[in-house]
Structure 1
Amino acid sequence: MTRLLRFAPAFASILLAACATPQAARQAAAPVEIGIVAINDFHGALEPPRQAVPAPDGMGGSAPVPAGGAAWLASAIDSIKAKHANHVVVAAGDLTSASQLASSIYLDEPAVGVMNRVGLEFNAVGNHEFDRGRRELLRLQNGGCEKNTTREPCQIEAFKGAAYKYLSASTITEDGSTLFPATGLKSFGTGASKVTIGFIGLSLKAVPELVSPDGIKGLTFADEADTINRAVPLLKQQGADAVVVLIHQGGKTTDDPDPNGCKGMTGEILPILARLDPRVDVVVSGHTHWAYVCNYGDVDPARPILLTSAGVYGELVTDITLTIDPAADRVVAKAAHNVIVQSPGYTGGRGAVPNSDRYPRFAPRADVGEYVQRYVDAASAYARQPVGHLSGPAEKPDGLASNTGGLLGNLLADAHLAATRDAGARIAFTNPFGIRAPLVPAADGSVTFGQIYAVQPFNNTLITETLTGAEIRQAIEEGLDDSGAQQMLAPSANVRVTYDMTRPSGQRVVALTIDGQPIDPAATYRVAINNFLAGGGDGYATFARGTDARIGMSDLDALAAWLAAVPVRQVPPEERTVRLDK
């Protein structure tokens, strides 16, 4: 698609002409307003993630607003519910996994508990919901204490499962059925004023590239647009007046500070929208961790679809308003606005992030705060353990440069190489998309286990394998090609990569050196990567073809050992990857 979506202002309203109906019918039932409260990519963020939302500052620029935390999220959701007599809370996936320590070490049971308490009703299955495998995902829905991982379930309380429904319209099991229901319905009102909303929930087709193959064995993931289009007429037959898609796929805008903007939208969601049944009214999206509100009708007037995303970590909530004519059985107006979940200010690696008077401040909801604190206190013994000292903040770039590793990527790659030398590793790479939090030491330079866990919360294992020089170059190209999201692997200190994104896909690596010498395409090298990449994750098919693989320690243990090996570990400052077209 060559045309870009234009800016969609906050509370942008898309007025649709209603079909002519008899005057008596119009008088018999007034339009009904429905509020849809939407989130995505919560990732078990029980506590404020110490991450800010860039938002307009009223002077033509932007300013960071501290946001997130389950108790504050609950209050923000309650405030939106209070605006709408008729409401429903929904999510577009990745509520669990890649989580904060207090959620992750308890198998994200507390993340599910938070969602139960905020009144979530439908959630699309994302890719991270599969991180611990199919059986564990089914346990999150159904409850119980079956042990499906190395960690013990039900450590703090008996786990009752999700009170909300997972939807997985495109996830097909061995017998041809869907893993969870494909759709859901919710009705409001009675008699002539009754209206019904139909929900379709699904993951992205690329799930097999994003999770361990063992976790999804026997499952297939169907085309997103085809799946949605098959479900729409079925929902209409069941009486749906409006159709809302919850999909774990999304896009990105340009570096626009307005979370309600849609400037320069790009991404994998666009070709899906271009093929959708025009009867789809709203698409709640996720996956990219980007916040936006878009009117797809600006691109295709035949498909005036409202597209939304609420960013990541519960830092925003989308307030969607649908106005439905019950006589005409259709939506006559729709609008959306992303609400910043402003929580207490903090000081991070880039200085103080104070509260803003331009945006509402939410008080933490007491019951959710108390519930979260139980898990935080239980996890604190793990979290407080010191692991070493760091010379300063180690972070990766944010915004449009978040697909590179930065100083933190350098640090991790060096730690992985040091941990795999005994397996013959000569170079190491890590994937920037797997880096989940900055590493900011305390005033005395100390770093805790809880902090390094937040950086790498996947419990990946390091794999050392043999690849040719040509295969290493090809693997780097796979991260930069036009198939899927693009990222530049973060390399160890002895590697330099120069690339140019204006060159043809598959030919973007301009120069590649190892130990100061150009890579030899015919020579073999021992390469250290995590098991996710070694399985072909993130589209790195070449890594899955490596030979003589040797399993090492976890990436978490490798980082802890690297930090502990010297009194103060220096943050590696050098630029190891250079992009020529910037």
Structure 2
Amino acid sequence: MNKSLLFLTLALGLSSCNLLDAGKPAVQDVVVLGLNDFHGNLEATGFAGIKVPDPKDATKTINLPAGGAEIIGGYVDSVRTTNPNTLFVGGGDLIGASPVTSSLLRDEPSVIALSKIGMKASALGNHEFDQGLKELLRMQNGGCDSNDTTKACKFDANYPGASFKWLGANVVDKTTGTPVFKPYDIETTASGAKVAFVGAVLKGTPDIVTPDGVKTLTFLDEASSINKYIPEIKAQNVDAIIVLIHQGGTASDTYDKTGCNTLTGPIVDIAAAVDPAVTAIISGHTHQGYNCVVNGRTVIQGDFYGHLLQRLDLKLDTKAHKVLEVKAANVVMDTRSIAKNADMTALVAKAKSLTDAVKLQPVAPIAAASISRTQNAAGESALGDVIADSQLAATSDAAHGSAQIAFMNPGGIRADLIASLPGNTVSFGDVYAVQPFGNTLTVMTLTGAQIKTLLEQQWTNLASPRILQVSKGFTYTYTPTYAADGKTLTAVSVDPASIKLNGATLDPAAQYRVTANNFVAAGGDSFVIFKSGTNVLQQPNLVDVDAFAAYLKANSSTPVAAPVLNRIIRN
């Protein structure tokens, strides 16, 4: 090409770019709204951060009803009306472990709701993988080729998939090493500002989902995976880069404390390692409300179930492609003051019409208004005991495995058992809220020595132990050891003489029949000793929630009460 012609072409190209830039304001105000750990909660639930008078008893208070698709949609509408440069995004676990209204319809109403509200992108969460990769890809792309045809496409006969993109910079195919989902997404606002969102999920996801569902995937380090794409993103002249990550921490400050500096947990190390070009981190997973600063960068999380939306108010210089100012806040999705989105009202009504008959079906009375999942100092909970007892009852006969002991993972207990019907009667919806995964029961043989190993594996991660809930008749004692600060756990020992079944110490060489749900039985939550079990009896037709409901019914003449917490003893 002639040099003069080349220079002229370049000049015209630059001139064209300058003309495009000239059409947008040099400084723009952009709002980013984030939603984490929604878990299909289409309807409002109680937010513990604010207490309000109980409408049924003026002498008592209850948690503020907050969240729900109608309120979230209404708030997003109101912000967009004020500022059209508003982007709605997610921090993962939008679906999975959901209430009946969404879960019985395979969470399709929740995906459709968030799409209609205008979500642009979301980090993957571990619960997005609850039903395996193939089903997650269907949730993204649409269609009815589901692994549960009894639920799929019952809300919409032609399920369209999500209009937003799930992002996973650190989720790659185990064979090819290539990303299975988009690593990042760049959105252009109404006024032309470009905001990039990079997504990641905690690298420990394979340990907390059913292993078979992610066996073809590798989950890489979060920060290095995010940083890999930053140069590529910056080359596209974006005006801000936001990380959406399903990993979090905890803070001693409350959700409404701006700029807190008490954040601890995995997200702190990730935030410290992420490229300085990242302006803010919208986090999730730990179900906490915090608005903190790590190394000068905003790190925020909005509780769970849509009680709070994270709000980032950005002032962007679109000529210099830089962030001039960031203001961060957690906004309460208050059902008392936020106008509802009419489309969401119709959507929720349709979902309820398809599920209420099942949800409201009475199961049985319980001895009090609720049974709590809150663990005591040793890690035992009343509800955990009851669930373990129900699984033992379902599998103790010869036809179902002759089980002697049942173990229940605490992460599978998603809510307190609260009786919503008169006379302290629980409905199927109440039971389902406690165990929404649809796990099935598995019975296997373990030796006494393997059971001791199982108990020790509760502390595979000393910083985040998972104390199994145990059935009646099984007891043991453990002793923790702490560092000089008296707080940091350094070791745990389980006294083999204390491991007893109906008062008799377990023989290390003897064999015992043990029940667990299929998630744990496959080695989930790092309980890998289960994979060494023998004489395994898989029971695909014995679902945990059904076993739980059957146990409550079988004891309806003397309603189930919270047991005395004396099965797990901590020295």
Write the deviation string for residues 240-275 of structure 1: whole angstroms up to 9, x where unpaired.
222111111111223847576746422222222222
1: CA distance, partners of 2:317 / 2:261 = 31
Aligned pair 1:32/2:28, yes or no? yes
Alignment deviations for residues 75-123 of structure 1 (CA, whole Å, 9 cap, x no partner): 2233333443411000011111111112111111101111012110001
Measure the CA separation in 1 of the matches of 2:244 and 2:446: 40
- Report the alpha carbon displacement of residue 371 of structure 1 after superposing the two structures with TM: 0.8
**2:259–2:293: 8 Å Cα contact kept in structure 1?**
no
Alignment counterpart, residue 445 of structure 1, candidates 407, 411, 424:
424
Q: For the structure 1 residues 394 and 241, does the alpha-carbon distance in structure 2 shift closer, same or farther, using more than 3 Å as the test?
A: same
Q: Residue type of the partner of 1:433? A: G
Alignment pair present for 1:396 and 2:372: yes
Aligned to 2:276: 278
CA contact (8 A) 2:102 2:109 kept: yes
Query: Counterpart of 1:319 in structure 2: which amino acid?
Result: R
Alpha carbons 2:481, 2:491 under 8 Å: kept:
no
Q: Is the 8 A contact 1:480 1:508 kept in 2?
A: no
2:334 paired with 1:342: yes
Aligned to 1:384: 360
> Which residue of 2 is the match for residue 347 of structure 1?
none
SS in 1 for 2:563: coil
Residue equivalent to 1:491: 470
The C-alpha deviation readout for 1:387-407, integer Å capped at 9, x for no partner, is 222111344355x97994521
Change (3 A) 1:525 1:276: same
How far, CA to CA, are the matches of 1:213 and 1:569 in structure 2?
37
Counterparts of 2:172 and 2:66, CA distance in 1: 37
Q: What CA distance in whole angstroms lies between the structure 2 residues aligned with 1:546 and 1:260?
A: 50
TM-score normalised according to structure 2 size: 0.85
Structure showing greater relative contact order (alpha-carbon pairs closer than 8 Å, 6 or more residues apart): 1
Counterpart CA distance in 1 for 2:364 and 2:535 is 33
Deviation beyond 4 Å, 4+ runs, structure 1 = 255-263, 400-405, 503-506, 577-581
| SS at structure 2 position matched to 1:123 | strand
Return the alpha-carbon distance in structure 2 between the equivalents of residues 150 and 403 of structure 1. 41
Aligned 8 A contact 2:316 2:324 in 1? yes
Name which of structure 1's ranges 137-146 and 181-190 shifts more when overlaid on structure 2.
Answer: 181-190
CA distance in 2, matches of 1:401, 1:74: 38
Correspondence list, 1:417-566, <5 A: 417-422=392-397, 423-441=401-419, 442-482=421-461, 485-503=464-482, 505-509=490-494, 511-552=498-539, 553-566=542-555
In the alignment, which residue of structure 2 is the partner of 1:369?
A: 345
Q: For the Cα contact (< 8 Å) 1:491–1:576, is it kept in 2?
A: no
> Does the CA-based 8 Å contact 1:48-1:67 persist in structure 2?
yes
Q: Structure 1 stretch 553-562 or stretch 565-574: which is displaced more?
A: 565-574
Q: List aligned pairs for 1:93-242, cutoff 5 A.
A: 93-157=92-156, 158-173=158-173, 174-188=175-189, 194-242=192-240
Alpha-carbon distance between aligned partners in 2 of 1:519 and 1:272, rounded to the nearest angstrom: 43
Q: How much does 1:327 deviate?
A: 3.5
Shift of 1:543: 2.1
Q: Distance in 2 between matches of 1:66 and 1:245?
A: 29
Q: Give the Cα separation in 2 of the matches to 1:518 and 1:110.
A: 51
Kindly provide the CA deviation profile for residues 430-474 of structure 1, in whole angstroms up to 9, marking residues without a partner as x.
111111122122331322211111110000011112222332232
Identical counterparts, % of pairs:
37
Look up the equivalent residue of 1:114 and give its one-letter code. Answer: A
CA distance change for structure 1 residues 34 and 401 in 2, over 3 Å: closer, same or farther?
farther
Aligned residue number for residue 8 of structure 2? none
Distance 2:569 2:255 in 1: 24
SS of corresponding position for 2:74:
helix
How far 1:548 sits from its partner (Å)?
Answer: 1.6
Q: Distance in 2 between matches of 1:519 and 1:257?
A: 47
Q: Which residue of 2 aligns with 1:77?
A: 76
Supply the AA of the counterpart residue of 1:246: L
Among 38, 43, 47, the residue aligned to 1:52? 47
Q: Which amino acid aligns with 1:575?
A: L
8 Å CA contact retained: 1:403, 1:486? no
Structure 1 CA distance for aligned equivalents of residues 332 and 377 of structure 2: 21
CA distance in 1, matches of 2:264, 2:447: 35
Q: Is the 8 A contact 1:55 1:258 kept in 2?
A: no
Which of 244, 251, 267 matches 2:249?
251
Q: Is the 8 A contact 1:405 1:431 kept in 2?
A: no
> CA 1:258 to 1:427, structure 2 compared with 1: closer, same or farther past 3 Å?
farther
User: Distance between the aligned counterparts of 2:111 and 2:503, measured in 1?
Assistant: 49
Letter in 1 for 2:43: E
Residue in 2 that maps onto 1:412: 387
Q: Classify the secondary structure of the residue corresponding to 1:572.
A: coil
For residues 491-526 of structure 1, what are the alpha-carbon distances to aligned partners after superposition, in whole Å with 9 as ceiling and x for unaligned?
A: 112223444444464524455433234444333322
Does 555-564 or 256-265 show the bigger shift?
A: 256-265
Q: Which has the larger radius of gyration?
A: 2
Could you tell me the TM-score, scaled by structure 1's length?
0.84
Does the aligned pair in 2 maintain the 1:410–1:492 contact within 8 Å? yes
Pair 1:326–1:245, CA change in 2 (3 A): same
Task: Give the gaps of 5 or more residues in structure 1.
Answer: 1-24, 298-303, 345-360
Could you say if the C-alpha distance between residues 225 and 418 of structure 1 is closer, same or farther in structure 2, counting changes exceeding 3 Å?
A: same
User: Matched residues in 2 for 1:87 and 1:148: separation?
Assistant: 36
Contact map agreement 1:252 1:290 (CA 8 A) in 2: yes
1:575 aligned to 2:565? yes
User: Which AA in structure 1 matches 2:91?
Assistant: A
1:370 to partner: Cα distance: 1.3
| Letter matched to residue 563 of structure 2 | P
CA shift for structure 1 position 326: 2.7
Gaps of at least 5 residues in structure 2 are 1-20, 53-60, 483-488
1:31: how far off? 3.0
